[in-house]
Amino acid sequence: NFVKAFAPATVANVACGFDIFGFAVKEPGDTVELRRRDEPGIVITDITGDEGRLPRNAEKNSVTGVMLYLLKHLGITDFGCEVVLHKNMPLGSGMGSSAASAVAGVVAINEMLGKPLTRQELLPFAMEGERIASGSAHADNVGPSLLGGFVVIRSYNPLDIFTIPVPGDLYCTLVHPDIEINTKDARFILRNEVSLKNTIAQMGNVAGLVAGLMQADYDLISRSMVDVIIEPVRSILIPQFKEVKQAAIDHGALGCSISGSGPSLFALSRGVENAQKAGAAMKDTFADAGIASSLHVSSI
C-alpha cells in the first residue's frame, strides 16, 4: 500500500541530436511516494523542493496529470492514492526536471497497480507530462529517465526508440548556473527552416556520435559533439556560454554543449577525473562572471 519511485535527471539533445538523443545520469533525480487510500481520486499531500511553484491541484500538476491519464487508459475508476513529490532539481534547469517527475509518477502508479504496463509502454504517458509542462511531447528526457542509458529516438510517429551502449569510462559533468530557462521559450526562438549545408553537417555528427559511442572511439565522440543548428541560437540565452564551454574543453572534456533547453551545460569526459576537472573549470568560469552554479558528475 506504499510505493516509492525514483527517476533520474537526463541530458537531452547531447549536442547534435535535438529531440532524438538523451541519456540518464545517476543523480540528481526526483522521487514520488504513493500511499493507497480508501476513497477514489488522486490527492497531492506534499511537494518538496519546488519553492511552492508547482500546482497542488492533481488535474493541473503534470505528475498527477499523467497518473490520471494512465488510470483513465486502464479504465480504473475506483483507485485512490495520496501523492508526495520530492523535487531534487530546480525547475527550468535543462536537466529534465519535469520529465523526472513525470517518470517517477508513472512508474510509481504502475507499480502500485501490479505493473500492468512495461517501461516501454509507460513512455507515451510520461511524454504527455512533457506536453503539459512545455507544450511539446518530446521523448528525449522521459525516454532515458524511464529506460536508463543512452536513448535514440529514431521516429516520433510511430514512436521508435532504442538504447545504445556507451563506453564504461564515459562520465557526464552537469553544471547548472543559477538562472532559469523555460523550455517553451527556448523552443519558440528556434528557426523552422534549416539549410541543406547545416543539415548535412548535423547528420554527419549524429552518425559520428552514435558510432563513436558504440565503438568506444573517444576521438570520434569528441569530433561529433558539435551542434550547428540549435546551439548557436539558444546559447545567446546563457551568459558566459562560450567561455564555460571552452573551459570544459581546455580542462579535459571531450566536448560540451547545452543540456536540453538549458541553462545547464553538460560535458562528456573520458574518466571521472577529467569530468571533475572540467566541472571545476566550468563552475569557476561562471563564478568569475558572478554567476553561482551547482555541479554534478556522474557515470552514464
Give the residue numbers annotated as catalytic, written as ranges.
Answer: 130, 183
Query: Residues 113, 50: contact at Cβ < 8 Å?
Result: no
Q: How far is the CB of 11 from ligand HSE (least distance, A)?
A: 9
Residue 102 buriedness (CB in 10 A; 0-12 / 13-18 / 19+): buried
Q: How long a stretch of residues is the chain?
A: 300
- Nearer of residues 6 and 18 to ligand HSE, judged by Cβ: 18
Binding residue per annotation — 97? Answer: yes
Binding residue per annotation — 147? Answer: no
Strand, coil or helix: 52: coil
Q: How far is Cα of residue 245 from the mean position of the Cα atoms in its chain? A: 19
Q: How far is the CB of 261 from ligand HSE (least distance, A)?
A: 4
Binding residue per annotation — 267? Answer: no
Query: Residues 126, 65: contact at Cβ < 8 Å?
Result: no
Q: At residue 264, what are phi and psi to the nearest 5 degrees?
A: -65, 145
Tell whether the torsion through CA atoms of 164, 168, 170 and 172 is positive or negative. Answer: positive
Q: How far is the CB of 90 from ligand HSE (least distance, A)?
A: 13
CA gap 283, 176 in Å, rounded = 9
- Nearer of residues 13 and 173 to ligand HSE, judged by Cβ: 13
Binding residue per annotation — 96? Answer: yes
Residue number of the CB closest to ligand HSE reads 260
Q: How far is the CB of 216 from ligand HSE (least distance, A)?
A: 26
Which cell goes with 48? 518538496
Binding residue per annotation — 94? Answer: yes
CA gap 142, 124 in Å, rounded = 9
- Nearer of residues 117 and 268 to ligand HSE, judged by Cβ: 268
What single-letter amino acid sits at 78? D
Binding residue per annotation — 264? Answer: no
- Nearer of residues 153 and 221 to ligand HSE, judged by Cβ: 153
Query: Residues 44, 64: contact at Cβ < 8 Å?
Result: yes
Q: Which residue(s) pair with 82 in the sheet?
A: 35, 43
Where do contacts with ligand HSE occur on this chain (CB under 6 A)?
A: 12-13, 18-19, 96, 138, 140-141, 183, 186-187, 260-261
Q: How far is the CB of 259 from ligand HSE (least distance, A)?
A: 8
- Nearer of residues 233 and 289 to ligand HSE, judged by Cβ: 233
Which cell goes with 249? 574543453
Annotated binding-site members for ATP: 90-100
Annotated binding-site members: 90-100
